[in-house]
Structure 1
């Protein structure tokens, strides 16, 4: 690391326990250095001028100047400085976090629920370390470049680009239309979804199922926030409900979501389970994608978007073999080019487009 620039972090929190815990964690992470600490937003902004950090860890709820107010100032005056929010597992905390992500925060972590300081510090490190590495990758900070972000990616074996030889896809390519859309997304997702979903028409004609990596409570806030912006109805999915056209279902945090046969044998319905995490994720994109493939052979549009790690790659392999039409977000418009990267390298993706073109591709696939 000698001679290489480290990722510089300013810790902003009004609680001394969290300032100390986060500062200690930062000093333990290779390639990262502590720029300083601040106990409210006003002091943080004053220190930014002299310390010039790459990123802030930013408590949302603070006196004098809260995290959202700091973010607004960052966006106006220091747009290159990132922020990772620290939030509480409450309805108010989740609503504020959604606003923070819309204001351009890189990601967020939950303040630990554990009582012991050692356990809390360990929980913070497990969440914060991959995020800082992902941020460093996205900004090209040398000391952390080349490191895998989030869940390790599988080894990549190049395969030829698809020629629609899977199942009946060769015959149906360009002719059949999709009857369902399913989306996998993570870091940068709330902001990306708030840009993409409002571009979809209210008469899309098919259901949309989304896994966005988030904890419980936060997925409901996300659904409520998106519903206000979209022509489609957006809701947090409920166990046992039949899926309907023109409705967007977001998998609840802390649950796995899949499709199963409806009680009438014709409709498809949502099943929420307590099955274990996959790729350290619950909900998991792979888990949802596999189940969609079971019921919509040759009639699925799958979209893989910005996010850390590799969740979705194995599910896309299943969907590819079941003749799905697969859209990938391009590297330039991703906050973190993790989840779409391996499927693209493996040749699973039919079309790669920037964020502002994804809705258009979805509409084409369901309106053929």
Structure 2
């Protein structure tokens, strides 16, 4: 009898564990992040009998397939596509102008918004009823897809076209940090009065563009397909690299901190397969044991800084990203340390020498950051100078959030 009771208890425990495990599994599945694009049931009927244009790049996917390819198979009438920096299929290098073309896979005409123009013209939209915007962003002011978003919204607003946004998570959505852009330093890598890391998805940012009147009185009609089961604190690993030089999750998470080195004389991994995760210069030979040699890599960096020269510096490929998530801050210590270590300080921020994309003033959004590093200011002193602007931005941001 004892044996039977014991056996029964064991069976009951096993059944209870099995049920609990099943519930946990179902709950986990229910809470799985689902992008806007993947929710075809939420928008496919809305596209029926409409002439559709799609702003797309290689991150524009449903599952493993490109959105355009998938929608065409579902009978959606796609009359054209618009391509941003790097092109519709992602085959153009960083900063390279992209020409209009025909997509060899579908025969659809692709109009470049990174060539002779930045926004769709009236002629481009004349035969279009609705534009879809579906591009993966990484949550930084100097990542230019938010500029593309504003330009497409403006083109739609001027021509009475609706913009559907298939929203995607921001992998750096937890991060709201950095100095607010002083609009005197407005450029192609900074066009909005926001911090370096804005902490918003593309759809949330679109609402901010409308709400903060960043199109000078124009308002774009938006239809948003939000992400399911998402909040800004969630970790999100991108299924496709968002651009050629953000080719790993590590590079994406370090990007808000290490892209600032584009305004210095240091190579930040361009010309290697580890961009934004390694930092160095030939002149740091006596300071650091870690070395790398930038070379020309077609499609990533054809003429990197210090090409074919051995560079010495810092290796962040195994840096614990959890440290950034824990602090919720951009790392400034690497900039402070490497400036102090660099022997020719007068050249450290010399843009004419670095030949990179943007000056440190344009990247940081002001002239003070460069002066603070040169003056040896502490991280606390630098951060204190970002207030009250950063706190004010956080309050403005709350108005446009779709997710906790």
Q: Which has the larger radius of gyration?
A: 2
Per the normalisation by structure 2, the TM-score is 0.27
Per the normalisation by structure 1, the TM-score is 0.29
Higher strand residue share:
1
